[in-house]
Each structure stands twice: as structure tokens, then as C-alpha cells.
Structure 1
Amino acid sequence: MSEQQYQKYYVPAQSPWPFVGAVALFLIAVGAGNFVIETTKGKEGFGGWILLAGLVVLFYMLIGWFKNQIDESMSGMHSEQLGRSYRQGMSWFIFSEVMFFAAFFGALFYARVIAVPWLGGASNNAMTAEVLWPGFEAIWPLVKTPDGTTTTAMGWFGLPLANTIILLTSSVTAHFAHVALEENKRGRLKLMLGLTILLGLCFLGLQVEEYVHAYREMGLTLQSGVYGNTFFMLTGFHGLHVTLGTLLLIIMFFRVLKGHFSPQNQFAFQAASWYWHFVDVVWVLLFVFVYIL
């Protein structure tokens, strides 16, 4: 095999960013856990500040790591082989995210299909069910806790439906932005990408409004038993992913304004587009199994 058949494979120097990212994720995990406990029990603590510190460190890490990647890409250090490696890496990352949400959907299905019927006396379990929760009604959403506290289930109409339309529309605009990039139509690319970002921000704003409405007017909180827990766990983590996806798209937008990307060199934009379509698919599943069914 001749030397012309080989391609260079750029290997970057040692980087501090993976370590900084690990510290950020540790602070976020500890801070979020303590913040939820403190909020649930009505106590004051440092959970919120630890969470904020983790987010700041994460933001700092993303800026530094993205800057290094952009400099490497624009300097021509990335080869076609490295591009294939990046695509494989992004594919495995999205697969790990699929498994992440699969675990939470699994918890939801376990509660609905196994735990709730079991407490209601299914599978010849009437006596045990009567001891554990006398008078329990096996219905979903489970809007009553063992101590008698009741809440209101979140319906699918209104804000959830509007957010579904917004996010599905953003997936369409993201697709057309990608098509415009491949056709090297910069004006259409900026317009479609800008619309996608605006739609993502609208989704996040309406989700905040939905949470405020749930807490203040519906009594739907993290203390609302298994229904409230699964509702906020699934929609909250999805909202976090939409936030990260929107940040990625904003970075892509500024790169487009600086003249970055071409039909031949566009992995970063492609990866952001894949991620955005992924969070859209997850939301459709959430809308069906959390809000409608």
C-alpha cells in the first residue's frame, strides 16, 4: 500500500477539559440532589449554590473545549478519517442518551403497569394490598398519596400541546437549515437556524410557565407521590436536554455568522442537528405516555 492511501489522523495534546467537565458534573449531581431534598423538606442549605457552581464550571468547560475544537477544525487538522470517528462517537453518545431516557420510561411503565395494579389487588394480591394501602384505587394518573394528599394531573391540552407543536416545528426548521448548508445557501441557513433557536427558547419559556402553573394552581409538585416524581423527572431532564441543544444551536449560529462550515466540512453542525432531532423524538414519546395516556 502506497503512502498516498494513508491519511493523517490528528491526535490532540493532553487537555484539561475532561477533568474540568467531571468536576462540573460532580458539583451538579451533588448540588441538584441536595437542592431537591432541601426544597422538599423546606430547609435552607447550600444545594442551590453548589448546583449553580457546577453549572458555571460546566459552561466554562464548554467554552474552552469548543474553542479548541473550532480552532483545530478551522486550521485543517481534521481528516476525513477523523470525521468518521467523530460521527461514530456522536452516534454512541446519542445511543447512551436513548438508554438514559429508557431507564426513566421504564420506571414510569413499572409504576403504571405493575406497581399500581399490584397495590389495587391484582394477581390475587387483595389481602396484601389492603394492608399496604387500604381503599386504594388502581387508576393512573395516581393523584392521591398514602397520607391523603391529592393533586391534579397535568392534561395534554394547552401548554403541553403548544410546546409539542413548537418543538415539532423546530425540527422541521432545523432540517431545512441543514439542507441549506449542504446547498451552500447561507441566507436561508441563517434564517432557518435562527428560527430553530427562537422556537427552542419559546419551548423552554412555556415549560417554565407550565411548572409555575403546576406548583401554584394545581398542587402538582415533587411531593405529589409517584405521579409527581415521574412527571418532573421525565419532563425536567428533557428540558435540560433542550437547554443544552439550544446552546449548541446558538454556538452553531455564531459560527455560521463567522463564515464557518461548508458542504464538505460540517460535522459540528450535523452533530447539533442530530441532537436536536433526538430531543424532539423524546418529547413526542413524553407527550404521548406522560400527558395523554
Structure 2
Amino acid sequence: MNVENGVHDAHYYVPPPSRWPLVGSGALFCLGLGAALTINQVGAGRWILLAGFAILFWMLAGWFGDVIRESEGGQYGQQVDYSFRWGMSWFIFSEVMFFAAFFGALFYTRAISVPELGLLGDTQQLLWPDFKASWPLATGPKAADYQAMHPMGLPAINTALLLSSGATLTWAHWGLLNQQRQVLSRGLGLTIILGSVFLGLQAYEYHHAWTAMNLMLSSGAYGATFYMLTGFHGMHVLVGTIILITMWLRVQRGHFTPLQHFGFEAAAWYWHFVDVVWLLLFVLVYCL
């Protein structure tokens, strides 16, 4: 039924039964089983794990392919568009809460746990000789000697790269809205390149930190929070880059119009979210 002067349309596409949820369940089962067997050094574990990843990628390609074909076939009306927007909004909100948990752990360690350990007096000396209530911790139970990350150098370059990628993606969106397909394609391509360079530099940073700075996951609370926050962010950049590559390929096939392009918008929302998280990371992890 039409309501609010046609804001919602009467047509709501209901897709036919799909095999992809069942395929996805099989992929998750293989991933979980393969990871458990691999950790316990069972020979077949790695092959089951690889099979899980292969099935997962097949499921993603097939399921998103169906959605793209339905969208380009004109099956989706305004109500479906609203559903997609609400779904993506709640997904990004869940990602906000995901990173909030790790930022909360970082805050608790720095602002509460470490100062309280410094107030233990003789008991603290008994538990952890030569402990100093400072951040990052340079001493520990095993006197692990590591160096902390500094904001200048690769972290600052990566910040500039992500900020620039946000600008190029906005430029691409402007080209789409103004029916300038060449601008859209170039802007998306530049964003993909900037994201890929970011990932390459972060991999180099990790290698340098691990080998030259002795900064590892086992390097106390600082090493754990550093790698957990930056590592999960890097995973999100990788996923975002893959999504943008998919959008670029769709642009080459003539997909998206100024009035119907939520797939592109969803990718842009996700990428801008990744940008904002990195700015928080740069300030709270590298600078402070």
C-alpha cells in the first residue's frame, strides 16, 4: 500500500529460497573445525581450513552476485532500498561497538590498571620487581626490552593516505551524482590504490616492529592492545578495499545511476567509517 504520498512503494521484492545460507553454514563449520585441528597440529586441519575459506569466498561471490543481478534487473523498489540502508546502518553501528570494546580496554589499561599497580607499594615489588607505572611499559616480569611506536614516519604517512582516500572516494561519488562516469571510475581507482598502499605499509611496519623493535603480541599490555587495534583495523581496510574493487568492476559494466546506487553508497559509508577509526587509532595509540 502506498503511504505518505508515495514515499513507500507497493512493490517489495521477496527473493526465492536460496542455498547460500546453507553453504555459508558449511563454510563456518569447516573454518572452525579446521582452525581447531590446525592449532592442535592435526595434519588434515590446514586443508579443512583452506576448504572453509574457499567455500566462504564461493558463497560471498554467489550471494552478492544474485543481489547484483536482482538490483540491475529492477527487482528492488524504494522499500527494499530503505531496508538496505537500515541494515547497513546497524552493521556499521555494530562495528562501532566492536572497536569501542578495544578502545575501552586500552583506556582501562592506561588510565586505571597501570596507575593502580603503581600504588601497590611493597606488594607490587613482590609481584613485579622494578615495575614502573608508566605507559608504554618498558619493563615486565621477564624484563622484555621493546620499543614503542612513534606517530611520525609510517603512521603519519598512512594517516595521510587514508585521509586522501576519503577525498578521492567523495570525488568519485560527486562524479556519479553528476553522471561523469570517468570521474567515478578514476576516483574509485585512486581510492583502491591508496588503500592498497596503506596495507602494504602497515605490513612493513609490522615486520619492522616485530624484528627491529622487539614489539610483539607478548610485549605486555602495550603490545597486545597495539596489535589488536591496528590489526583489526587493517583487516577492515582489506575488506573495504575488496568491496571497492567490486564497486569499480561494477562501474566498468555500467552499473549505478544518480538515482539508484546504494551499493556504492554502502561501500562509501564503510570506507569513511574505517577512516574515522584510523584517526582515533593514530591519536590514542600512536600519539598519546
TM-score, L = length of structure 2: 0.91
**Equivalences, count:** 285
Measured in 2, the distance between the counterparts of 1:126 and 1:181 equals 63
Report the equivalent of 1:8. 11
1:126 aligns with 2:121: yes
The one-letter code matched in structure 2 to 1:64 is: G
Measured in 2, the distance between the counterparts of 1:46 and 1:100 equals 32
Measured in 2, the distance between the counterparts of 1:26 and 1:218 equals 38
Gaps of 5+ in 2: none
Measured in 2, the distance between the counterparts of 1:253 and 1:115 equals 46
Secondary structure at the residue paired with 2:257? coil
1:172 and 1:209, CA in 2 relative to 1: closer, same or farther beyond 3 A?
Answer: same
Report the equivalent of 2:134. 139
CA contact (8 A) 1:119 1:133 kept: no
1:60 to 58, 61, 86: 58
Report the equivalent of 2:68. 70
TM-superposed CA distance for 1:224, in Å, is: 1.1
Secondary structure at the residue paired with 1:264? coil
Measured in 2, the distance between the counterparts of 1:229 and 1:9 equals 47
1:215 to 204, 210, 215: 210
TM-superposed CA distance for 1:259, in Å, is: 0.2
TM-superposed CA distance for 1:179, in Å, is: 1.3
- State how 1:135-284 maps to structure 2 within 5 Å: 135-284=130-279
TM-score, L = length of structure 1: 0.89
1:248 and 1:115, CA in 2 relative to 1: closer, same or farther beyond 3 A?
Answer: same
Secondary structure at the residue paired with 1:218? coil
The one-letter code matched in structure 2 to 1:62 is: L
Report the equivalent of 1:291. 286
TM-superposed CA distance for 1:134, in Å, is: 2.4
Q: What is the root-mean-square deviation of aligned Cα atoms in Å?
A: 2.4
Q: Which sits farther off after the overlay, 283-292 or 143-152? A: 143-152
CA contact (8 A) 1:143 1:227 kept: no
Secondary structure at the residue paired with 2:151? coil
Gaps of 5+ in 1: none
Measured in 2, the distance between the counterparts of 1:183 and 1:115 equals 53
Report the equivalent of 1:107. 105
Measured in 2, the distance between the counterparts of 1:32 and 1:158 equals 36
1:2 and 1:148, CA in 2 relative to 1: closer, same or farther beyond 3 A?
Answer: closer
CA contact (8 A) 1:144 1:224 kept: no
1:28 and 1:2, CA in 2 relative to 1: closer, same or farther beyond 3 A?
Answer: closer
